[in-house]
Each structure stands twice: as structure tokens, then as C-alpha cells.
Amino acid sequence: MNYVRTGAMAFTIALIAGAAVAAPLKLQPASPQPSPKAGLDVKYAWEGNPPRKIQNLSKVDHLLKKAKAGPPLKGLDYRDTEDGDPVLTFGKAYNVAADISGYIRFDSAGVYELETWSNDGLEAWVGGQQIGYVNGRQPCEANQRTEVEVPQAGWYPLKIKYFQKYGSSCLMMKWGKQGERFTWTPNDVFGR
């Protein structure tokens, strides 16, 4: 009988702990609220042509210390390219590191799901919360889907470190408010 009670108690504690972990991440709005221009700011660093390789985010951190501003991004809708095509708005195709910053606008409060897609690695933050992380190479595919709580309508800071080693490249985002359709995030909700 003690084993049954102990097992039931352990199950209940695990269930409560799981529910606490699964709570949406609460985002912090930009303060003060900006009046941004369309798009996202980006700085680029280039490691050089192969055989040089960006393997992980640690290398990206090192490279971005000497990054230079590039043409702004239109948003986060950079579909999978062909091998050898330029990365984002940069003129090179391989070993590119990018430091992306700006804002994302939510038109209403509530719980949303956010999902980054990348080829290769990235670290993405919105409203002070990490919403995406890949520390290596991968084809253009979805990273983790993250549930976030948006406390009020408005602009929220966005920060992404991204790298593309070689082959094709992509950087995209999907979103959806709880109870609504999950779709590609439109470019007009990003500001810089």
C-alpha cells in the first residue's frame, strides 16, 4: 500500500512540475514603444570560402565582433535557396554569420506559438525570451515551437544570431495565436 501511495504522489508531483514547465514564456514589450521603419537591421561577418567553416554559434559570436551593417531584411521570409545563392541580403553564399535585430508587432494580447526555421544554426529571442536554438548544421527545417504569452498589443524586441555554412540557406518564422491558424509570419509585422 505504501508503494501505491508513494507512486501516486510521485506521479502527481511530476504532473504538476510538467505543467509548470509547459507554461508559456511571458514576453516583455519594448519600452518605450518604438515607431519603427519596415524590416529588420542586420550586420554580417564572413568567414571566407570553403574549406573555411562556421560550425557553431561560438564561432558566430567571435565573427560578429567585426560585423558590418548590411542591407535591411524585409522580415523573416527567406525561403530555401539553391546551393551557391547569396545568404539573406549578403552577397556571399557560404560561411556567413548574421546579427539581426529589430521588433515584431503583436496586434493583440494572448498566447501565441512561434517557430523558427533555419539552415543552418540560430539563436532567436523575442521579448527577452529564447524562442529558437540550433547550434549546428541542418537542412531548411523547423526548429522547436515555443509557446509565448503576449501581455499587451504592441512591439516586442527581436534578436537573432544566424549562420549559414555551405549549401542552401533559409531563415523563416511561423506564428499563430492560440485557437487560430498557424501560418508564416508576414513581413509587415517586423520593424527596425
Does residue 22 lie in a domain region? no
Residue 185 has what pLDDT? 98
- Least confident span in 10-24, 127-141, 169-183: 10-24
What are the pLDDT digits (tens) for 9-33?
Answer: 544 444 444 444 579 999 999 999 9
Residue 15 has what pLDDT? 46
Does residue 4 lie in a domain region? no
Does residue 7 lie in a domain region? no
Residue 50 has what pLDDT? 79
Residue 16 has what pLDDT? 47
Residue 49 has what pLDDT? 84
Q: What value does the mean pLDDT take over residues 170-191?
A: 97
Q: Are 123 and 171 in contact (CB under 8 A)?
A: no
Does residue 34 lie in a domain region? yes
Residue 184 has pLDDT above 80, yes or no: yes
The DSSP annotation for 110-136 comes to EEEEEEEEEES-EEEEETTEEEEEE-S
Residue 12 has what pLDDT? 47
Distance (Å, whole) CA 162 – CA 111: 26
Assigned C-alpha cell, 24: 508559456
What are the pLDDT digits (tens) for 41-65?
Answer: 999 999 998 788 899 999 999 999 9
Partners of 171 in the β-ladder: 78, 118
Does residue 5 lie in a domain region? no
Q: What is the CATH number of the domain that holds 105?
A: 2.60.120.1560
Beta-carbon contacts of residue 165 (< 8 Å; ≥ 6 apart): 53, 54, 55, 94, 95, 120, 137
Does residue 18 lie in a domain region? no
Assigned C-alpha cell, 31: 519600452
Assigned C-alpha cell, 138: 541542418
Residue 2 has what pLDDT? 52
What are the pLDDT digits (tens) for 67-121?
Answer: 999 999 999 999 999 999 999 999 999 999 999 999 999 999 999 999 999 999 9
Find the domain containing 185 and state its range: 27-191
Does residue 62 lie in a domain region? yes
Q: Are 163 and 54 in contact (CB under 8 A)?
A: yes
Does residue 74 lie in a domain region? yes
What's the total number of domains in the chain? 1
Beta-carbon contacts of residue 11 (< 8 Å; ≥ 6 apart): none
Residue 5 has pLDDT above 80, yes or no: no
